[in-house]
Structure 1
Amino acid sequence: MAVNDTLAGTHKIIQEAQEQQGGQLVPTLNDFSQELTTLNLGPTHPATHGIFQNILQMDGERIISGVPTIGYIHRAFEKIAERRPFYQITPLTDRMNYCSSPINNMGWHMTVEKLLGVQVPKRAQYMRVIMMELARIADHLICNSILGVDTGAFTGFLYVFQEREKIYEIYEEVCGSRLTTNMGRVGGMERDFSPVAIEKLRKWLKEFPAVMKEFESMFNRNRIFMDRVVNVGPITAEKALNYGFTGPNLRAAGVDYDVRVMNPYSSYEDFEFDIPVGTNGDTYDRFLVRNEEIWQSLRIINQALDRLPEGPFHADAPHYYLPPKQAVYKNMEALIYHFKIIMGEIEAPVGEVYHSVEGGNGELGFYLISDGGRTPYRLHFRRPCFIYYQAYSEMVVGTSLSDAIVILSSMNVIAGELDA
């Protein structure tokens, strides 16, 4: 009896929400026999690609309601960050959207720079753009290739993961790390691009387009793939905006909002690129938008690399940017700055700032309040996955279980952003 009461309550909530939005009513328990199935999609299902859960009520293969559950890997990043010096927070941001961690790093650094009033040299800005766009490509490759796997097509995944590995080799040459990169520093980059890094980057830029074209040829007009994704999980532009969608999922619904264009940062205004948009907001549109964004990222990287300015790769901000190790060994002033930064003894000015970047999944923002101490007074991460995941339970109502898998895959929900 308690189970039926719970189901009825869940249906009533979803039904009232859809009535307010003018949508189709969710079937209630009275429309079916009492033999409904409760299915746990997650927290350990392979299709969730992370630790989160959807409790689905099903009539046969058809989903009639869903309740999302998060919190399985909650790591309290924001509270941990409030007890750390500013430069030590970078590794925490790596672990949100770990598919494109350099974007998280750069977004955090720009937020702190806004608070400190640090002006980053043009060369460092262009270097950041190159690494952020590489990260965006890696993120989209993961999303779209795994969408292929979830529809039964494994070959495309193998093709593009070789290219993702080459991107990680570039990361490794630039900063020494691969997945959680801890890339860059407040004030610029940790080190300049080496000749080997530039050589690897140019080689990859030359070879990758042929692989990307082959990947698209396997999926874009594949009849089996299209049958699985066209008109599956659509969302209107109005609903997407109401839910707070940003990034590829919003652009697939036809809204051309991109933080890089609306609020340019790191010299994005210097580059020419287009904002791909869809029309139906369905799984197929989300796939196509991400593919096209990969091509636009390649355009940006080529422009940034060809025009890479001369000059320093970090700001002249000795209070916040670690001095070179050789200077620490020989110069007392450098040793003092090094000690104060490492021990977290540098105080930030009082202030309240918000800065956002265009992450792999949408607007990634950092809301920072400083009371003049050595650590943030309050810090909030705006994680795009956490915001748009709330729409998933509505998007799957009326679909089959197999549709629910591809909808989740096309939204690219990253568990690290749900449980920050």
Structure 2
Amino acid sequence: MKDQELSNILNQNESKEHIDGQLYTLNLGPTHPATHGIFQNILTMDGERILHSEQTVGYIHRAFEKISERRNFTQITTLTDRMNYCSAPINNLGWHMTVEQLLGVKVPKRVDYMRVIMMELARIADHIVCNAVIGVDTGALTGFTYLFQDRERIYDMYEEVCGGRLTTNMGRIGGFERDFSERFHELLPEFLKGFPARLQEFADLLERNRIFMDRTIGAGAISAERALSYSFTGPNLRAAGVDYDVRVAHPYSPYEDFDFKIPVGTAGDTYDRFMVRQHEMWESLKIIEQAYNNLPSGPFHADVPEYYLPEKADVYTKMEALIYHFKIVMAETEVPKGEVYHAVEGGNGELGFYLVSDGGRTPYRLHFRRPCFIYYQAFPEMITGSVISDAVVTLSSLNVIAGELDA
């Protein structure tokens, strides 16, 4: 069907009731397994063909930005990891870097490398979820069962660092709550040794699978120009052919110490988004190996007693530690006035924190730049004219996480 015919039918549908029963409305969501979250798409359909799509967001609105205005800077960490909960440590550590930029805190080199290791593990975990689910939505469940074992191995490492698995509350302003444990030093080398073979097995299952390629090539394509006009970042932008990565464009933590490549696609379709994430997992493994093999010695947190909770044993025995503990917990420590924006390369793209401080104990204003909220705005354009099965895999490949839609 030609675009003009689609437009005419849609205009008729807007002004009249269904014509001969040909057009109908379909609710994709809010509680549908293919949406992978709580959001709704109201589709106008001509048979299997999508003529128009209207999104409804807000089903998972938590008012995080307003809550942050009544929370101290340490407490906000637990809000950040409930946005993209598939790669929570990146959210946590990105927030800590933002506060450190405001405070002028310089963290030890060991902290930088520890953060890189945890953020790249989180990136792999995020991409495992996305790509394994794309396989499921095209009818291939086997790869999902293969890779999710490795996601659990990553969560085991999270647990050694912070005690959490999904929502991690990882790290602290100035560093980490604890150093890598002995068990962590056993788990990470095991993962680095075993994961490449399992990732290659997953790649062999899908990357050149004719059924998978037929389902994904051309589905939900977006041009580089349109992706940029929507402010795409991350894998979804790189799949459209734009070589932009926050880790390279604006290095932090410091990523400039490591040798890695930025995978870039050409077509901007579901298959390219899948392949970009596939290659990014290989690059993340390289970064982790470099950071771990060159992990500096030294403290695992900066010397900032005004913002970093002291050891519990010291709180019971030292007056100074007790005072700092009380001031931090009760938000008695005021921060400098200032306005900062800091971004990290999240699992889904540029995750930014715009922080305004008026010198009080809580942020005057805090805004989260959530990449999934931006991608979802482009979803109607990407699926109009396609069939319902293409809409499902397109949504999967954008990896829209409901927690990021409405902060």
TM norm structure 1: 0.93
Letter of the 2:314 partner, please give it. Answer: A
Displacement after TM superposition at 1:27 (Å): 5.1
1:270 aligns with 2:257: yes
Q: Counterparts in 2 of 1:172-183, with a 5 A limit?
A: 172-183=159-170
Displacement after TM superposition at 1:29 (Å): 3.7
Which residue of the partner structure matches residue 28 of structure 1? 10
Percent identical among aligned pairs is: 71
Runs of 4+ in structure 1 deviating by more than 3 angstroms, as ranges, are: 24-27, 29-34
1:396 aligns with 2:383: yes
Which residue of the partner structure matches residue 292 of structure 2? 305
Which residue of the partner structure matches residue 162 of structure 1? 149
Check whether the contact 1:26–1:64 (CA below 8 A) recurs between aligned residues: no
1:145 to 132, 145, 163: 132
Displacement after TM superposition at 1:28 (Å): 2.8
Which residue of the partner structure matches residue 112 of structure 1? 99
1:42 aligns with 2:29: yes
Which residue of the partner structure matches residue 346 of structure 1? 333
Letter of the 2:147 partner, please give it. Answer: V
Output the CA distance in 2 between the equivalents of 1:378 and 1:26: 46
Output the CA distance in 1 between the equivalents of 2:100 and 2:118: 18
SS of the aligned residue for 1:351 comes to strand
1:254 aligns with 2:241: yes
Displacement after TM superposition at 1:33 (Å): 3.5
Which residue of the partner structure matches residue 123 of structure 2? 136
Check whether the contact 1:353–1:367 (CA below 8 A) recurs between aligned residues: yes
* Structure 1 residues not aligned, in runs of 5+: 1-17
1:204 aligns with 2:191: yes
Letter of the 2:392 partner, please give it. Answer: I
Q: CA RMSD in A?
A: 1.4
Displacement after TM superposition at 1:131 (Å): 0.3
Distance 1:67 1:184, change over 3 A: same
Letter of the 2:19 partner, please give it. Answer: S
Output the CA distance in 2 between the equivalents of 1:381 and 1:25: 37
Output the CA distance in 1 between the equivalents of 2:217 and 2:24: 27
Which residue of the partner structure matches residue 5 of structure 1? none
1:67 to 45, 54, 57: 54
Check whether the contact 1:44–1:51 (CA below 8 A) recurs between aligned residues: yes
Displacement after TM superposition at 1:327 (Å): 1.5
Q: Counterparts in 2 of 1:96-111, with a 5 A limit?
A: 96-111=83-98
Deviation per residue, 1:185-216 (Å, 9 max, x gap): 00011110012101100111100000000000
Displacement after TM superposition at 1:326 (Å): 1.6
Deviation per residue, 1:301-351 (Å, 9 max, x gap): 000000000011101101001111121122111110011001111101000
Deviation per residue, 1:260-309 (Å, 9 max, x gap): 00000111110010000000000000000000000000000000000000
Output the CA distance in 2 between the equivalents of 1:139 and 1:107: 16
Deviation per residue, 1:373-420 (Å, 9 max, x gap): 000000000000001110000100010001100000000000000021
Q: Counterparts in 2 of 1:311-350, with a 5 A limit?
A: 311-350=298-337
